[in-house]
Structure 1
Amino acid sequence: MQTIKADVVIVGAGVTGAAIARELSRYDLQVVVLEKEADVGAGGSSKANTAIVHAGYDAPPGTWKAKLNVRGVELYDQMCGELEVPYKKTGTLVVAVAEDQVAHLEELLERGRINGVPELEIIGRERLLQMEPHINPEAVAALYAPGAGIVNPFELTVALAENAVMNGVQVFLSQPVTDIVVEQGQVREVRTPDYRVETRFVVNAAGLYADDIARMVGQDDYYIVPRKGEYYVFDKRFGDLVKRPLFPVPTEVSKGILVTPTADGNLLIGPNAQNIEDKEDLATTPEGLQEVLSGALSVVPDLPLRHRITTYAGLRNVAMPGNDFVLGPVPEVKGFINAGGIQSPGLTAAPAIAEVIVNYLAEEGLELKPKASFNPERKAIRRFGEMTMEERREAIAQNPAYGQIVCRCETVTEAEIVEAIHRPIPATTVDAVKRRTRAGTGRCQGGFCTPRVMALLVRELGMPWEEVTKKGGSSRYVVGKTKDLLLGKVE
């Protein structure tokens, strides 16, 4: 076991942990991020994401969710611009399909104004149908929030983490935290299977497992309830069926099953909301998917059901009691800071949460000396599929690997995948390549490109085929060579 030293250890590399890491990289500090998965943004809570930058009208006034949602929106333009992450200000609509739902829109409008959300308004049926021709013809009104938008959450998480690494942060993947040593009320050490990290400050951004990490230092005043959400993804040909995210009137447990375009051009519907016990249960269910379909059809009746290309599920991490973000220090343990219970609007609030956590660290005694060499910018992988014909010719002339199409559905080239494998946080699994390049996200869902992506991982990383995984751990595609199998050399 290797011993290393750090000023701050961040547990978890979802969007929250990555945002905190980037914020801390502005200062002259040794920061270590420990992530149990084989990639950043790969946990169950990262998947429970509709990729919406919420306006901020839904959260109860005075909560962390309300305050940090609005602040997060203020930070998004600059953050995504610096990191070259796709972000579109589309606005959102909460749609009332009956007169008795209009009162709820008025409640949301008032709540939004209290929370400080700008430009909210309730629009009537005529304007609503002009804005969204495919909406339920029974719709009578909608709450319009022009400041909301859509983002690529997976690329955002990768971009935040990459920029943090570029500025000196160390990220250790496949390293679940097994223990936190506290001596005389002060954090002293964090342990994983391979490392002992000596530190005085720990930030708990462990998503679904934030309560388990908190218990390692004796905190037991909150627990995480996994809340499953299931989704359908539709072919890109129908990505413009709606122009912006369309919500139904929300319920007590969820913002409802919505219909939304994605930043990458697909159409997405979901999620439902079901509290479960297993924090690793990412399975979709027939009943859940039918609930998603029924809910989405009540908003947009003419969904192109024959053009669904995949389903998936993720888990929101709901902190109880309180159902709010759990942010701040533990009075009995100096140096331990929580950033737990980060469910919706956590994606929106992530940069604002990072600001809050850094302030708490300073209050706990961490010295923040600005780093003169900090660079907030990160260059994205150039997407061949988005280039003009002239740009494509120039790219191929400079690097012939741009002329080799690996993923036909998304027009992803060998050059893009090779770059992803050698970025500041290398893509070492098939899913990691997918998150960075979209190879495997198209209509055939990797049926054509998966073996080709595997071949590039083998070539670039020098690993045997048997070690290539979908998402790390034991998720291997290949058990051995056919000849060895026939000869009985493979169990």
Structure 2
Amino acid sequence: MFDVAIIGAGVVGCAVAYELSQYELRVVLIEKENDVAMGASRANTAIIHGGYDPEPHTLMGKLNVEGMRRCFKLCEELDVQHIKTGSWVVAFDEAQRATLELLLEQGIANGCEGLEILDGDVVRSREPNLSDDIVAALWIPESGVLNPWEFALAMAEVAVRNGVTFMPNTKVCGMSWQDDHYEIKSCVIGAGSCASANESELENGKHDTSCSAAKAAMPEKITTICSRYVINAAGVESDRIHNMVAPPAFDIVPTRGEYYLLDGTAAGRIVSSVIFPCPTCAGKGITVSPTIHGDFLVGPNSEVIGDREDTSVTRDALLDIAQKARQIVPNLNVRTSIRNFAGVRSNSTYGDFFIAKSATNFIDLAAIKSPGLTCAPAIARIAREILGEEGVLRERRKDWRGGRRIVRFKEIPEGERAAFVREHPLYGRVICRCETITEGEIVASMKREIPPVSIDGVKRRTGTGMGRCQGGFCGPRVLEILARESGHEPLNIVEDGCGSTILVGETKDPRSREVSHK
């Protein structure tokens, strides 16, 4: 029996797990994919929003500034890559200048500091590539960018280190209240070792996170998880989870946003801050922003779709994004793109975050759209307070271990690298040349609390495959290391989710390969 079950290991679910891991509680974090941050938490603009945009009376407005400041603090504590870049909202005419005045007032009401409206010439002196047609811009100095999947992962790793059980590959398919607890019916994807975990193993944190082609091909197995409280942080599926135990209160309107990722080396210095157009009812608009890796993101658009998992990209949408982005940065060259991707946002009919105790011992943290990434720590604080009012929180853990430090070889001063490699030889073998990621970093990622189970899992933890070649050079080496360190056959290593196998068969008898290596 768990005290709290968190459904969804996106950034909100991971933030809640991080908060609750500080208490003497039995907590389980349930995720239908094979890793954390597999939905909108990894496919977004990676912005720590400054807080000027949400209306002050909304939860989004009330939580943005708190979340923003907490994000920066957590990034420092958990060694998550981030940059305080500041951001601009640009205006092209007097009507849009008036909008800037409204946003300024709104931001001040939300608790933003340092906001100011500057004339176009001043803006261009700081951002020379911006359009000559820009007449003014709102400066938001407190905003920035971060590594969103690393942020979620860091919080989840600390949570697991402190006793939270992580259950990947586990899709909630039903739920019912039984006297004093919920019975959560879950489909464990594949009937492999992951499905064989019993309750004792789950509560001891021994749930197998392996994901192979063989397991993915097997039928799902139904298992039951018992928990006194349930927290719904299921993102784009949050309305469906809500409806399992409470009357319908909102509908998720899945909205796809597509992006360009431009190579920073080829594109040059496009902008140093996040650039927004004036917002509309459809959203914040097409942004041009730097990333923590030195590249640039352009997007997203906003398209309501029927399929909640449709992350495909379309030619028409990308052409439209490029055209709108060039209104802001005329010399933008999308031919320097090294990747296109899309994410699905949890827009809803409710129009705000839906945070409520909606049924007995059931808490919704639902319909979390932008600025949800920024607000996640503040949302987790609300969840903790609700549980506190319910009398669930026991004493704080005296043995709680926070913090996190990651060795990134390219951040080691050049004069210290040789000595470091002599002591740690695996850091002397560069696997990803684009991003200068070493074998030592890959192996270290596999010894952390939530090890990667896929090529992209290694990518999200270390940065392999993030550069210009997008894994074309390092991919086979990463696969080799992942298979070696995990003990899985290379044929069973996946690119990302379950079933996304890379290798289809042996071209030689494995025994002959062993002989040739001797």
Give the distance between the partners of 1:312 and 1:229, measured in 2 at CA.
9
TM-score after normalising by structure 2: 0.89
The alpha carbon displacement at 1:61 in A equals 1.5
Aligned to 2:200: none
Aligned-residue Cα RMSD (Å) equals 1.5
> Helix, strand or coil for the counterpart of 1:39?
coil
5 Å-filtered alignment, 1:146-295, equals: 146-183=141-178, 187-192=181-186, 193=188, 194=195, 195-237=223-265, 238=267, 240-295=269-324
Amino acid at match of 1:399: H
- Tell me if 1:378 matches 2:372: no
Aligned to 1:466: 491
> Helix, strand or coil for the counterpart of 1:177?
strand
Give the distance between the partners of 1:424 and 1:391, measured in 2 at CA.
28
Q: 1:239 to 1:68 in 2, by over 3 A?
A: farther
Aligned to 2:199: none
My pick for the range that moved more, 261-270 or 210-219, is 210-219
Aligned to 2:481: 456
- Tell me if 1:134 matches 2:162: no
Give the distance between the partners of 2:412 and 2:77, measured in 1 at CA.
20
Q: Is the 8 A contact 1:258 1:295 kept in 2?
A: no
Give the distance between the partners of 2:268 and 2:425, measured in 1 at CA.
31
Give the distance between the partners of 1:189 and 1:167, measured in 2 at CA.
24
Amino acid at match of 2:298: I
May I ask how many residue pairs the two structures share in their alignment? 475
Amino acid at match of 2:353: F
Q: 2:80 aligns with which of 76, 79, 85?
A: 85
The alpha carbon displacement at 1:391 in A equals 2.7
Gap runs ≥5 in structure 2: 189-194, 196-222, 510-518
Q: Is the 8 A contact 2:182 2:230 kept in 1?
A: no
Aligned to 1:343: 369
> Helix, strand or coil for the counterpart of 1:200?
strand
Q: 1:386 to 1:335 in 2, by over 3 A?
A: same
> Helix, strand or coil for the counterpart of 2:396?
coil
For residues 404-460 of structure 1, what are the alpha-carbon distances to aligned partners after superposition, in whole Å with 9 as ceiling and x for unaligned? 111111111111111112210001101110001110111011111111111111101
Amino acid at match of 2:422: A
Gap runs ≥5 in structure 1: 485-491
The alpha carbon displacement at 1:483 in A equals 4.6
Give the distance between the partners of 1:364 and 1:214, measured in 2 at CA.
19
Amino acid at match of 2:27: V
Give the distance between the partners of 1:430 and 1:141, measured in 2 at CA.
45
The alpha carbon displacement at 1:191 in A equals 2.5
Give the distance between the partners of 2:233 and 2:340, measured in 1 at CA.
27
Q: Is the 8 A contact 1:240 1:261 kept in 2?
A: no
Give the distance between the partners of 1:429 and 1:152, measured in 2 at CA.
19
Q: 1:328 aligns with which of 356, 362, 367?
A: 356
Q: 1:357 aligns with which of 380, 383, 387?
A: 383
Q: Is the 8 A contact 1:153 1:347 kept in 2?
A: yes
For residues 316-343 of structure 1, what are the alpha-carbon distances to aligned partners after superposition, in whole Å with 9 as ceiling and x for unaligned? 11121x221111211xx21110111111
Point out 4+ residue stretches in structure 1 off by more than 4 angstroms.
none
Aligned to 1:119: 114
The alpha carbon displacement at 1:239 in A equals 6.2
Aligned to 1:488: none
Q: 1:456 to 1:209 in 2, by over 3 A?
A: same
- Tell me if 1:317 matches 2:346: yes
Give the distance between the partners of 1:66 and 1:465, measured in 2 at CA.
48
Give the distance between the partners of 1:30 and 1:394, measured in 2 at CA.
43
The alpha carbon displacement at 1:390 in A equals 2.1
Aligned to 2:54: 59
Aligned to 1:307: 336
Q: 2:6 aligns with which of 10, 16, 33?
A: 10
Aligned to 2:32: 36
Aligned to 2:98: 103
